[in-house]
């Protein structure tokens, strides 16, 4: 048995087009096996990771004439660049070697959606990924070995492909509709999928064909089921068997299972929703990836000596990958990461995730046994289970004493079903062993003959007949569904009698009609209420379809028009269409500012909003969803109950999490299943008594850094950037005894730096709000202060639109640091105003829900209002600063007059500095009283000006020079000059 750690490789891709448009910066650096990621907000925060391989594929390459990306000798990163060949040589050849030796192997592809997983695993065009290179090389070596006339070994390659979505397994190579295969446990071989197609192949071309079939089936399912591919895991399995005569003269077989796993987007694993979302644990979609993370953590702790249970049984994915994670397999994990600062959090999460995996150990063994012994063992197991089932002598668990008779019968039934599955699997294995590979190949080719001929005919038809093909957010699933324009007219809709039958939200029974007009094809909606877009614009009348036009039926069905003759005539005029391009043009025509930093989020959210609104309408959920921009910094979703007019605000992540559950519910609805969920699991439901964020206000803290009080009256702004009221907040310095220091001697103005390493005490008083809506009750405010996790809240006030809280909270800092000073001088606190909706609709005065473009336009007023509040704060500080200067100048004037009164010609520098640095009137008076005790020092004949005063505390300053300096200070201390 060969024990080794899971190998981990990280690969960095180039910037994609969207990252380039947003002027993204590079946050990843690689040196040898080390990967470093730098926080774009804090250059000193660098996380370092060491992996088995760190592959730099960000730059340093050129495109060859055949499309292959190879190292560019003219680029400084030429030697650093890792091309597809380098990746395969390091990772793929090892898997190939293991397969010949009889070891099982597994390769995971992990990373954020769009991070380049498919590029490494599958590749595109001549840039072949690990899978096609492995398959090509395997068959090349098989053919080489067959050339040896003394080699009588029989080589067999069997393929399977499945998709795991929402804890359900689909066979992607099956022509029958078995969408939910069962996973079973065999006592000798571990977990397996019952009735999963195992298809023999004789060359690499057949494997490519099968992978194409599987991808097409994924696309059709995603289109029909309204499912999202980024939430599905895909597993492509290859079983390589060598049958030969051993030294004893008996037949043996050596087998290796190679599993290539494309995991769902890793950003979905980090969070299933906002904090406190009651549905975050209920989304089965996330269960597999979440459990995989738990298994990796448990296995890492176990490898370091911990005694911990590994939760393989908690999800379907981890059951299937049990061997790969901690059993009989040699395993590699390939993490694909984005180079961009805008994906920093997701990339850091990915690196941390796979960093744990490298500690896991697996115990691979060579899978070799004599054929006769294997058949005999399987036959004995069959007879053993048959006897137990026939006699009814089925062993039960030892702790069944507390079970009722009904529960015992159910348990016995489950065990009998498990035994039956084992019998079926053993019989299948015996048939596979006894049946020759030639026989299995013949059967597979007969089954595949008709579909293969249809695919060939389709390829030819695409050269001459106009058609539309599907567009998907996953590039792998784009271009796998085709509808040809052969007859006119062509009806489109969800009714089965339509020529093009589409399913999904907002698809009408008769949705659109496509007709031929000489050499052109036109499209028009069959009803004025249907959603039909061409190039992002709503179609209201007959419209000509041109080559490369983007068509959207309903909210989820995206297609591209193809005119073969026109495209052949001028290829340069027609760029490749992507899903992002189609989304962007919809966004432009919906009023989205494409220059906003939130463009990416908006483009993602806009179609999602349209989709859930369509689902809500079909399910009669009585909810309307609309996009909101929170001060241009965050995309949120406003949810409105159409019966009560009660509103909720969901974060982007909470909305996306619930959207996936809504899609599951909708799928059950259209397939006739029981789709209604209990209230606690209903993705449309929110507690009407949940506090609603009415608005917020930013309060500047700079006055506290100067030790002065300010009263700020500021506008309360809601998530749509509308003013919803006014709030009065008072910031007050105070003593340790909590006594307010307002215009007192103790609140004497000071510069922020003077407060370093001293105590600081202040109060935040939230007095009152004015002019709020009468549709809210139980209104209160909340806020956090300086690195604090504690949320401070006022009392709840009801029955008024002008709530008076008179709230006061004292904050104390025993040692003022530079960080605290920076916080007070440059940051704000956000005070959030919350309230509960009144239950009666007639009491509400809700205004029209804004369109997506309105928040962007209205939010332009926020900046001037914020600048005005900041200006008033600065002006207040400057006035207090002038008052301080005037007080000190008055003190110096008094000092000069007292010195002349006592006939002093000189004063000590120490006394002058002490007077100048006084922070209260009491300190000033105490220093003035010391003047009478001053003595002229004849030994110190040299007078010193104020500018030289810091050279010696024992120096003397003449009263004449002091009066001269005082006159200069007075002339330069006007408020106009200070400003």
Binding residues, as ranges, are 111-118
Q: What is the largest CA-CA distance in the chain?
A: 127
Q: Are 558 and 550 in contact (CB under 8 A)?
A: yes
**How far apart, in whole angstroms, are the C-alpha atoms of residue 565 and residue 570?**
9
**How far apart, in whole angstroms, are the C-alpha atoms of residue 170 and residue 193?**
10
**How far apart, in whole angstroms, are the C-alpha atoms of residue 945 and residue 147?**
103
**How far apart, in whole angstroms, are the C-alpha atoms of residue 555 and residue 558?**
8
- Distant-in-sequence, close-in-space partners of 280: CB < 8 Å, separation ≥ 6: 271, 272, 273, 657
The DSSP 8-state label assigned to residue 715 in this structure reads E
**How far apart, in whole angstroms, are the C-alpha atoms of residue 602 and residue 598?**
6
Q: 724 is written with which tokens?
A: 């919803």
**How far apart, in whole angstroms, are the C-alpha atoms of residue 528 and residue 525?**
7
263-281 in b/e form (b: 16+ CB < 10 A) is bbbbbbbbbbbeeebebbe
**How far apart, in whole angstroms, are the C-alpha atoms of residue 887 and residue 890?**
5
State whether residue 415 is helix, strand or coil: helix
Partnered with residue 726 across adjacent β-strands are 715, 770
Q: CA 748 → CA 546, 755, 911, distances in Å?
A: 75, 12, 20
With tokens 């981890």, the residue in question is 318
* Strands 330-337 and 7-12, bridge-based pairing: parallel
877-907 in b/e form (b: 16+ CB < 10 A) is beebbbebbeebeebbebbbebbeeeebebb
- Distant-in-sequence, close-in-space partners of 642: CB < 8 Å, separation ≥ 6: 622, 623, 624
State whether residue 898 is helix, strand or coil: helix
Closest CA to 839 of 754, 885, 781, 778: 778
Closest CA to 526 of 558, 550, 499: 499
Q: Are 239 and 110 in contact (CB under 8 A)?
A: no
Chain center to CA of 146: 50
Q: Are 466 and 568 in contact (CB under 8 A)?
A: no
Q: CA-CA-CA-CA torsion for 390, 392, 393, 397, nearest 10 degrees?
A: 130
- Helix or strand run (H / E) with residue 80: none
**How far apart, in whole angstroms, are the C-alpha atoms of residue 737 and residue 879?**
28
The DSSP 8-state label assigned to residue 237 in this structure reads E
Chain center to CA of 107: 23
- Distant-in-sequence, close-in-space partners of 921: CB < 8 Å, separation ≥ 6: 745, 748, 887
Count CA atoms closer than 13 A to 384's CA, side-chain side. Answer: 11
Q: Binding site membership for ATP: which residues? A: 111-118
Phi and psi torsions of 253, nearest 5°: -135, 140
* Strands 28-31 and 42-50, bridge-based pairing: unpaired
Expressed in angstroms, the distance from the first to the final Cα of the chain is: 80
The DSSP line for 929-967 is: HTGGG----TT--S---GGGGGG-TT-EEEHHHHHHHHH
Neighbours of 217 (CB within 10 A): 19
**How far apart, in whole angstroms, are the C-alpha atoms of residue 538 and residue 536?**
7
């Amino acid at each position: 048995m060969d024990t080794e750690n899971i190998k981990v490789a990280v690969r960095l891709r180039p910037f994609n087009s969207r990252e380039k448009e947003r002027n993204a910066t590079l946050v990843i650096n690689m040196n040898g096996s080390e990967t470093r990621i730098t926080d774009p907000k804090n250059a000193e925060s660098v996380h370092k990771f060491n992996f088995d391989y760190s592959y730099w594929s960000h730059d340093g390459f050129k495109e060859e004439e055949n499309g292959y990306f190879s190292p560019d000798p003219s680029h400084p990163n030429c030697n650093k660049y890792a091309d597809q060949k380098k990746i395969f040589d390091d990772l793929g050849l090892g898997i190939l070697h293991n397969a010949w030796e009889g070891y099982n192997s597994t390769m995971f592809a992990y990373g954020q959606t769009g991070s380049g997983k498919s590029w490494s695993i599958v590749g595109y065009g001549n840039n072949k990924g690990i899978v096609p290179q492995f398959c090509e090389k395997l068959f090349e070596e098989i053919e080489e070995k067959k050339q040896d006339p003394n080699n009588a070994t029989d080589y067999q390659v069997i393929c399977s492909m499945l998709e795991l979505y929402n804890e359900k397994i689909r066979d992607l190579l099956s022509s029958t509709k078995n969408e939910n295969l069962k996973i079973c446990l065999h006592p000798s071989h571990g977990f397996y999928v019952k009735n999963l197609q195992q298809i023999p192949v004789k060359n690499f071309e057949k494997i490519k064909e099968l992978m194409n079939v599987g991808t097409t089936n994924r696309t059709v399912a995603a289109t029909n089921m309204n499912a999202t591919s980024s939430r599905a895991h895909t597993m492509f399995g290859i079983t390589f068997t060598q049958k030969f005569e051993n030294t004893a003269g008996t037949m043996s077989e050596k087998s290796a299972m190679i599993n290539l796993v494309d995991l769902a987007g890793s950003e979905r694993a980090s969070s299933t929703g906002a904090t406190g979302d009651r549905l975050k644990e209920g989304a089965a979609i996330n269960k597999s990836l979440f459990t995989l993370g738990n298994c990796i953590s448990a296995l890492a702790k176990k490898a370091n000596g911990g005694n911990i249970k590994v939760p393989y049984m908690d999800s379907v994915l981890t059951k299937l990958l049990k061997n790969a994670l901690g059993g009989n397999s040699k395993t590699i994990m390939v993490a694909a990461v984005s180079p961009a600062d805008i994906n920093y959090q997701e990339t850091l999460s990915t690196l941390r995730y796979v960093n744990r995996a490298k500690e896991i150990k697996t115990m691979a063994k060579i899978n070799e046994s004599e054929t006769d012994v294997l058949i005999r063992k399987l036959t004995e197991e069959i007879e053993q289970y048959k006897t137990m089932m026939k006699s009814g002598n089925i062993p039960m668990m030892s702790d069944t004493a507390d079970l009722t008779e009904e529960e015992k019968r159910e348990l016995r039934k489950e065990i009998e079903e498990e035994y039956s599955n084992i019998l079926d699997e053993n019989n299948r294995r015996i048939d596979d062993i006894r049946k020759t590979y030639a026989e299995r190949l013949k059967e597979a080719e007969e089954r595949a003959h008709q579909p293969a001929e249809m695919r060939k005919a389709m390829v030819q038809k695409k050269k001459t007949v106009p058609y539309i093909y599907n567009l998907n957010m996953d590039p792998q699933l784009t271009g796998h569904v085709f509808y040809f324009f052969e007859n006119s007219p062509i009806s489109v809709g969800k009714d089965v009698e339509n020529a093009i039958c589409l399913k999904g939200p907002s698809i009408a029974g008769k949705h659109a009609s496509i007709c031929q007009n000489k050499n052109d094809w036109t499209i028009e909606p069959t009803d004025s209420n249907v959603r039909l877009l061409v190039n992002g614009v709503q179609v209201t009348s007959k419209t000509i379809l041109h080559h490369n036009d983007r068509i959207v039926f309903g909210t989820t069905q995206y297609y591209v028009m193809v005119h073969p003759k026109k495209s052949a005539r001028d290829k340069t005029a027609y760029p490749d269409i992507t899903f992002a391009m189609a989304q962007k043009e919809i966004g432009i025509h919906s009023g989205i500012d494409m220059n906003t930093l939130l463009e990416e989020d908006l483009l993602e959210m806009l179609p999602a909003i349209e989709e859930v609104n369509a689902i809500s309408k079909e399910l009669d959920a009585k909810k309307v969803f609309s996009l909101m921009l929170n001060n241009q910094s965050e995309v949120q979703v406003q949810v409105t109950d159409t019966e009560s007019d009660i509103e909720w605000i969901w974060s982007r992540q909470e909305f996306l999490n619930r959207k996936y559950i809504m899609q599951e519910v909708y799928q059950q609805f259209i397939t006739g299943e029981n789709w209604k969920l209990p209230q606690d699991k209903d993705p449309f439901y929110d507690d009407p008594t949940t506090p609603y964020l009415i608005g917020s206000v930013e309060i500047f803290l700079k006055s506290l850094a100067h030790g002065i009080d300010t009263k700020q009256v500021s506008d309360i702004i809601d998530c749509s950037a509308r003013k919803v009221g006014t709030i009065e907040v008072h910031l007050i310095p105070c003593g340790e005894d909590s006594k307010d220091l307002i215009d007192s001697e103790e609140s004497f103005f000071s510069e922020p730096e003077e407060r370093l390493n001293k105590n600081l005490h202040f109060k935040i008083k939230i007095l009152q709000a004015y002019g709020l809506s009468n549709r809210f009750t139980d209104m209160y405010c909340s806020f956090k202060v300086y690195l604090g996790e504690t949320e401070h809240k006022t009392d709840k006030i009801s029955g008024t639109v002008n709530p008076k809280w008179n709230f006061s909270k004292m904050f104390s800092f025993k040692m003022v640091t530079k960080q605290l000073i920076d916080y007070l001088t440059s940051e704000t606190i956000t005070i959030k105003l919350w309230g509960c909706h009144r239950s009666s609709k007639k009491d509400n005065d809700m205004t029209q829900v804004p369109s997506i473009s309105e928040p962007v336009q209205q939010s332009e007023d926020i900046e001037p209002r914020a600048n005005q509040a900041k200006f008033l704060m600065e002006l207040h500080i400057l006035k207090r600063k002038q008052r301080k200067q005037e007080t000190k100048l008055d003190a110096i004037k008094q000092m000069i007059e007292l010195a002349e009164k006592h006939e002093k010609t000189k004063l000590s520098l120490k006394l002058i500095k002490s007077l100048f640095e006084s922070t209260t009137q009491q300190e000033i008076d105490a220093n003035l009283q010391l003047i009478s005790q001053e003595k002229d020092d004849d030994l110190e004949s040299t007078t010193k000006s104020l500018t030289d005063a810091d050279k010696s505390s024992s120096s003397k300053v003449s009263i004449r020079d002091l009066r001269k300096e005082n006159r200069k200070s007075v002339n330069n201390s006007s408020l106009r000059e200070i400003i």
